[in-house]
Amino acid sequence: MSKPSIITDVVSRRVWDSRGNPTVEVEIHLSSGKYGRAIAPAGASRGLREAIDLRDGGEILNGLDVRKACSNVQNIIAPALIGNDAADQSAIDRILFGLDGTDDKSKLGGNAIVATSLAALHAGAASEALPLWKYVAQTYNTTPNLPLPEIQIIGGGAHAGRRVDIQDFMIMVPGAESFEEVMEITSDVYRAAGKIIQRKQGSVVGVADEGGWWPVFDSNEEALETLVEAIALAGQTPGEKVVISLDVAASEFYHNGGYKLSLEDRDLNTHEMIEMLGLWIEKYPIVSIEDPLAEEDASGMIAFTKAHGDRIQIIGDDYLVTNAELVDAAVKDEACNAVLIKVNQVGTVTEAVAAFRAANEGNFRSIVSARSGETEDVSIVHVSAGLGAGQLKVGSFARSERMAKWNECLRIKDAPGMGPFAGATSLKNTWWNRG
Ligand code: PGA
Ligand code: ZN
């Protein structure tokens, strides 16, 4: 009898993401009758060196259709994978890598490849009748834990029509005793922020792409002030249990060597940008900043990390694009001190784990992250928990493609073999936790 985890069929279908755009779903069926399924997410503020999603272009569906990517799964990937062992993730990913043959996965499509790679991971777990997080820990020999969430309260940047320049105004609740307490406090802060914004605005306020409140402000700093107000209105002392995290996503407003804050009609050079963020770090309980400078501004990232890296977490997202080599270089250059891990940014599970390992070796923290275009797929929760990454970022505290991830954390938190809630330990060596 053949191994139960041998791939007998690979099926793709076009499904739809949280922005109403088409995306790729892949199912991998095994000889045992078990199967794994995954859906590709999609970014809006993408790094220059990311894996590229294959979109059909033309008039239909605003050029975003994924018929070609789906047919690549069906006609090129499926014949190559059938007969292989889904439980050998690195072999599966090597085949995908070889079939594509480009640096940026643009031939078969990053969307086709990531959905297939993650579907193989699910199929491998199903084959061994293990929850995905446990299978991840077993495959990569890691110690699982329940991640500390980073949760968006106010959206911005490319996710909110560039209504403010900064992309994510988030909270973290490292002072919570448990994951449930994070959820309760976040629920209170989210609603409080909605109330404050509605009072200011005098009308109903909507949400941005990741479910955070739509940013109706006159300055970027006003959003930060509102966040602090919301934490207080929710009965918390800002900086105690609850702290602030920003994703500046600075590449999005970096043009011709400078930073254009459109909302305030200000042009800043690298030095002025570092100075502005430095003032915010002094004034507000900020513990983490992602992409403070643009991905092309390496010397800016290095200068920022030199100035603030011993006090706060500095995350490379666009700057590192989940690429192990770029993580290694950033460790050497001291250009940040944490990496955002987005499986679809690099394309395969194996490559994402390589970036995670490079981060560990370099003493960088890891934050597993969703994209702004998401679905009901909760694979990344298991990747984060299984690897023991320590932190998880999936957007806000509204809209089911976001809540699906938080709810999945609640399902797995007490499972046998799951490690403790990462909480405070994941912010060790920041001003918040010197211990
Ligand atoms: P994206 O943004 O998914 O739209 O690229 C998310 C982020 O910048 O973290
Ligand atoms: Zn980012």
Asked whether 353 and 329 are in contact (CB, 8 A), the reply is: no
Full-prediction pTM beyond 0.85? yes
Collect residues with CB below 5 Å from ion ligand 2: 247, 249, 290, 317
Cα separation, 394 vs 45, in Å, equals 15
The best mutation among 317, 336, 340, 345 to test binding of ligand 1, ranked by most ligand atoms within 8 Å of the C-beta, falls on 317
Is the model's pLDDT at 82 over the cut of 70?
Answer: yes
CA of 340 to the centre of ligand 2 (A): 8
Q: What angle do CA 182, 433, 183 make, to 5 degrees?
A: 5
Residue 387 CB: number of other CB atoms within 10 A? Answer: 26
Q: How would you classify the pairing of strands 243-247 and 313-316?
A: unpaired
Share of the chain above pLDDT 90, in %: 98
Reply yes or no on whether 50 is catalytic: no
Q: Provide the H-helix boundaries in 58-104.
A: 67-72, 78-81, 89-100
pLDDT at position 100 is 98
Q: Tell me the residue ranges of DSSP E strands in 100-197.
A: 148-155, 168-172
Q: How would you classify the pairing of strands 286-290 and 313-316?
A: parallel
Nearest ligand to the CA atom of 48: 1
CA of 168 to the centre of ligand 1 (A): 9
The one-letter amino acid at 115: A
Six-digit token pair at 258? Answer: 């400078």
Question: 34, 241, 342, 393: which is the annotated catalytic residue?
Answer: 342
pLDDT at position 432 is 98
Six-digit token pair at 387? Answer: 């690897």
pLDDT at position 1 is 60
Closest residue (by CA) to atom 6 of ligand 1?
371
Is the model's pLDDT at 151 over the cut of 80?
Answer: yes
What's the mean pLDDT in 144-148? 98
What's the mean pLDDT in 428-433? 97
CA of 127 to the centre of ligand 2 (A): 34
Cα separation, 130 vs 63, in Å, equals 39
What's the mean pLDDT in 141-159? 98
C-alpha 146: how far from its chain's center? 16
What's the mean pLDDT in 52-73? 98
Closest residue (by CA) to atom 1 of ligand 1?
43
Question: 25, 210, 290, 374: which is the annotated catalytic residue?
Answer: 210
pLDDT at position 203 is 78
pLDDT at position 201 is 84
Cα separation, 390 vs 37, in Å, equals 25
Q: Give Cβ neighbours of residue 102 (< 8 Å, ≥ 6 apart).
A: none
CA of 35 to the centre of ligand 1 (A): 30
What's the mean pLDDT in 123-128? 98
Q: Which pairs count as long-range contacts for 193-201, CB under 8 Å and 24+ apart, including other chains?
A: 193/153, 193/154, 193/226, 193/227, 193/230, 195/233, 196/226, 196/229, 196/230, 196/233, 197/154, 197/226, 200/226
* Closest by Cα among 394, 393, 315 to 355: 315
Nearest ligand to the CA atom of 395: 1
* Per-residue pLDDT tens over the stretch 346-377: 999 999 999 999 999 999 999 999 999 999 99
Is the model's pLDDT at 276 over the cut of 70?
Answer: yes
Asked whether 356 and 387 are in contact (CB, 8 A), the reply is: yes
Residues with CB under 6 A from ligand 1: 43-46, 158, 167, 247, 249, 317, 369, 371-372
What's the mean pLDDT in 233-239? 98
C-alpha 236: how far from its chain's center? 26
Q: Which atom of ligand 1 is nearest to the CA of 209?
A: 4
Is the model's pLDDT at 199 over the cut of 80?
Answer: yes
Which burial class, exposed, middle or buried, applies to 141 when counting CB atoms under 10 A from its CB (0-12, 13-18, 19+)? exposed
Q: Provide the H-helix boundaries in 101-149.
A: 110-127, 132-140
Q: Tell me the residue ranges of DSSP E strands in 291-336.
A: 313-316
The best mutation among 167, 251, 336, 345 to test binding of ligand 1, ranked by most ligand atoms within 8 Å of the C-beta, falls on 167
* Closest by Cα among 305, 407, 228 to 320: 305
Cα separation, 307 vs 370, in Å, equals 29
* Closest by Cα among 410, 378, 411 to 394: 378
Provide the mean pLDDT of the chain: 97
The best mutation among 151, 369, 402 to test binding of ligand 1, ranked by most ligand atoms within 8 Å of the C-beta, falls on 369
* Closest by Cα among 346, 377, 374, 372 to 359: 346
Phi-psi region of 106 (alpha: psi -120 to 50; beta: other; left: phi over 0): alpha
The best mutation among 245, 372, 374, 401 to test binding of ligand 1, ranked by most ligand atoms within 8 Å of the C-beta, falls on 372
Six-digit token pair at 259? Answer: 């930073």
CA of 146 to the centre of ligand 1 (A): 22
Reply yes or no on whether 222 is catalytic: no
* Per-residue pLDDT tens over the stretch 406-421: 999 999 999 999 999 9
Cα separation, 317 vs 338, in Å, equals 9
* Per-residue pLDDT tens over the stretch 105-117: 999 999 999 999 9
Phi-psi region of 266 (alpha: psi -120 to 50; beta: other; left: phi over 0): beta
Binned at pLDDT 50, 70 and 90, residue 140 comes out as very high
Nearest ligand to the CA atom of 160: 1
Binned at pLDDT 50, 70 and 90, residue 236 comes out as very high
What's the mean pLDDT in 290-301? 98
What's the mean pLDDT in 280-303? 98
Q: Which atom of ligand 1 is nearest to the CA of 371?
A: 3
CA of 393 to the centre of ligand 2 (A): 10
- SS3 state of residue 318: coil
